[in-house]
Structure 1
Amino acid sequence: MIYKNIKEARFINRPNRFIANIEIEGKSQLCHVKNTGRCKELLTPGAKVFVQESDNFKRKTKYDLISVYKGDMLVNIDSSAPNKVFYEWLTDSDIKEDILFVKPEAQYKNSRFDFYIETAKSRGFVEVKGVTLEKDGVALFPDAPTERGVKHLNELIDARQNGYAAWIIFIIQMQKVSYFMPNEAMHKTFSDALKAAQKQNVDMAALDCKVTRNSIMIENHIKIKL
């Protein structure tokens, strides 16, 4: 996934979930934050960030906040990126030969999953979660309570029990992590639901990403610890 019109800036503050103040080219500017999560450990005053300049003059903000440095690690915080890089990986990896059909945004009962996939041997649903929280080399999800995430896991369990394949994929939007685990301290219910999903044979994977100032691409499978 390639971004165009990327520029370096400095993060100043975040008045609300959707807007940040940044300093770019010596001036203070409003910037759209493409992630409604907390990101408190990332968006700290003075942090080096990369923003995408828009050529749409009708927009209220000229820039989108794409990534931020945490120490020497660049973290992509664009919440639209995980689905896009997963789709790219899915259709460009070794497993693509087995895939017959892919449909984004697929309805199952009371949930809308990110993908519906058919292969020669199975059909099923995939839910993708972006991970931007890292602590002591461990990737964690979620960074805030997510009842929606719990609902998705319960529906994946239901789909699995009704004969579908079911996957939850964690896209870690950075490198240099040792493993992934659910953030039980933040939301124990989600952690318990993920463990229940594993017991019910819902497949899961965590994939880290190579992040540059103007790109993000899936790299490696990362161990999951429940």
Structure 2
Amino acid sequence: MKYNNIKIAKFINRKNRFISEIEIDNKIELCHVKNTGRCKELLIKGVDIFVQENNNINRKTKYSLICVKKGNILVNIDSQIPNYVAKEAIESGIVKEIKDITTIKQEVKYKNSRFDMYFETNKGKKGFIEIKGVTLEDNGIVKFPDAPSERAIKHINELIEAKKEGYEVYILFVIQLKNVKHFEPNKETHYKFYETLKYARDKGVHILAYDCFVSYDEIILKDNVDVIID
């Protein structure tokens, strides 16, 4: 996935979940934060960020925050992008565990949830994929979620139900950075999520994690990452 109209800026502060102040071209501007997670370890005053300039005069903000520099690492924090990146990768065969796909549909309703993807294969299998973007990293270990997420638990429980009905079901954690050691559920932040993910694994839900190549204007799904659920 390629972005256009990207500019470098400095992060100043986060006014609320959706809006931050940035310094760009020697001016203070408002910027849309495309991630409602906490991102406290990323959004630090003075850090280099990359923003997308918008020319839509109807928008309240001229810029959208796309990427953050964390030391020598670039972290994409655009929460809208993992679904596109995952679909691109599945269709091109990068995700080896999900293969022989003939049909992919996005945002498909199942019972009380709406899963990110529904798929069919040339072998007659049908299934659902739920995508979760991951930006929280600590010494090479990446975790999800960075804030309690009852919505994520609801999705996992619905995947378990779909599995019982014969669907192939996957959770794909899209790690929005490169060069990580492994993925694990963030039990310190949301223990119930950890328990639910562990239960889902034991019930046959496939749990995958892939990292991404990230540059200031691009993100591409790359390599399988070990999932550790103790």
| TM-score between the two structures when normalised by the length of structure 1 | 0.98
Whole-Å separation in 2 of the counterparts to 1:17 and 1:109:
29
**Conservation of the 8 A alpha-carbon contact between 2:115 and 2:129:** yes
Who is 2:118 aligned against? 116
SS of match in other structure, 2:69: strand
Matches within 5 A, 1:26-65: 26-65=26-65
Matches of 1:42 and 1:57, distance apart in 2: 29
Distance of 1:135 and 1:149 partners within structure 2: 21
What is the match of residue 107 of structure 1? Answer: 109
Take 2:145 and 2:90, find their aligned partners in 1: how far apart are those partners?
24
Counterpart residue type for residue 118 of structure 1: E
Q: In the TM superposition, what are the counterparts of 1:76-225 in structure 2 within 5 Å?
A: 76-93=76-93, 98-121=100-123, 122-225=125-228
For residue 204 of structure 1, report the CA deviation from its aligned partner: 1.2
Unaligned segments of structure 2, at least 5 residues? none
1:97 Cα deviation after fit = 6.7
Structure 1, unaligned stretches of length 5 or more? none
Q: CA deviation at 1:93?
A: 1.7
Whole-angstrom distance in 2 between the partners of 1:15 and 1:158: 40
Task: Tell me which amino acid in the other structure corresponds to 1:52.
Answer: Q
1:6-54 per-residue CA deviation (whole Å, 9 max, x = no partner) reads 0000000001000010000111100000001100000000000000000
The number of residue pairs the alignment matches comes to: 226
Root-mean-square deviation (CA), in Å? 1.0
| Partner secondary structure for residue 157 of structure 1 | helix
Paired letter, 2:143: L
Find the aligned partners of 1:144 and 1:4 in 2 and give their Cα distance: 30
Q: Secondary structure at the match of 1:150?
A: helix
What residue in structure 1 maps to residue 70 of structure 2? 70
Note the alpha carbon deviations across 1:65-118, whole angstroms, 9 max, x for none. Answer: 000011110000000110010011011126687111110001111110000000
- Evaluate the alpha carbon distance shift between residue 97 and residue 161 of structure 1 in structure 2; reply closer, same or farther with a 3 A threshold: closer
Give the whole-Å Cα distance in 1 for the aligned partners of 2:57 and 2:155: 38
User: How far apart are the structure 1 equivalents of 2:145 and 2:109?
Assistant: 23
Give secondary structure in 2 for the equivalent of 1:84.
helix
| Matches of 2:139 and 2:68, distance apart in 1 | 17
1:171 aligned counterpart, secondary structure: strand
TM-score by length of 2: 0.96
Query: Residue 149 of structure 1: CA displacement?
Result: 0.5
Structure 1 segments, 4+ long, off by >4 Å, are 94-97
Amino acid at match of 1:45: K
